[in-house]
C-alpha cells in the first residue's frame, strides 16, 4: 500500500476519536461534553468545507461549491451557538455532515480527489453520524 494513502487513512480515522471520547464523557455525565462535541464537530466540518473551498478555487472552479462550503462552515458553527437546544444543535451537525458529503458526490468531480477518497469519507461520515445519533440518547431530559 502507498505510504501516503495509508497515512491519509490513519489520520482520517484518528479524526473520529474525539467523537467517541465525547461519548464516554457523556456517559459519565461530565460537564462540558456537549460543548466539546459541538465545537469539535464544527472544526471538522469547517475543515471539510475548507477542503471544498481549496478544490473549488484550484481545480473545480465551481461557484456552487464555493458558496455552499462557506454556508456549511457557518452552519456548523451556528450549531455551537445553539448549545442551549442540544437536540437541535446535534441535528444541525448531522445535517451539515450529510450536506458536506453530498457536495463531495454531487458537486465536486470525483477526479479531483485521491483514489478511494469517497469510500473513506463515506465510512468516516457514517461512523460520526451514528455516534452523533447515539449522543442524542444521552441528552438530559
Q: Going by C-beta distance under 8 Å and a sequence separation of 6 or more, which residues neighbour residue 125?
A: 97, 98, 100, 101
For residue 18, what pLDDT is reported? 97
Of 52 and 34, the one with more pLDDT:
34
DSSP conformational letter for 15: T
Query: In the predicted model, what is the mean pLDDT of the chain?
Result: 91
Q: Is residue 115 over pLDDT 70? A: no
Amino acid at each position: 500500500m502507498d505510504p501516503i494513502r495509508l497515512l491519509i487513512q490513519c489520520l482520517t480515522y484518528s479524526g473520529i476519536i474525539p467523537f467517541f471520547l465525547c461519548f464516554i464523557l457523556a456517559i459519565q455525565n461530565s460537564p462540558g461534553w456537549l460543548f466539546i462535541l459541538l465545537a469539535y464537530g464544527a472544526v471538522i466540518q469547517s475543515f471539510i468545507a475548507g477542503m471544498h473551498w481549496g478544490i473549488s478555487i484550484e481545480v473545480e472552479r465551481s461557484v456552487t461549491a464555493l458558496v455552499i462550503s462557506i454556508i456549511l462552515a457557518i452552519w456548523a458553527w451556528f450549531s455551537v451557538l445553539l448549545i442551549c437546544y442540544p437536540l437541535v444543535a446535534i441535528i444541525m451537525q448531522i445535517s451539515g455532515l450529510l450536506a458536506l458529503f453530498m457536495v463531495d458526490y454531487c458537486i465536486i468531480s470525483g477526479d479531483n480527489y485521491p483514489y478511494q477518497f469517497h469510500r473513506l469519507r463515506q465510512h468516516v461520515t457514517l461512523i460520526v453520524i451514528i455516534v452523533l445519533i447515539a449522543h442524542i440518547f444521552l441528552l438530559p431530559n
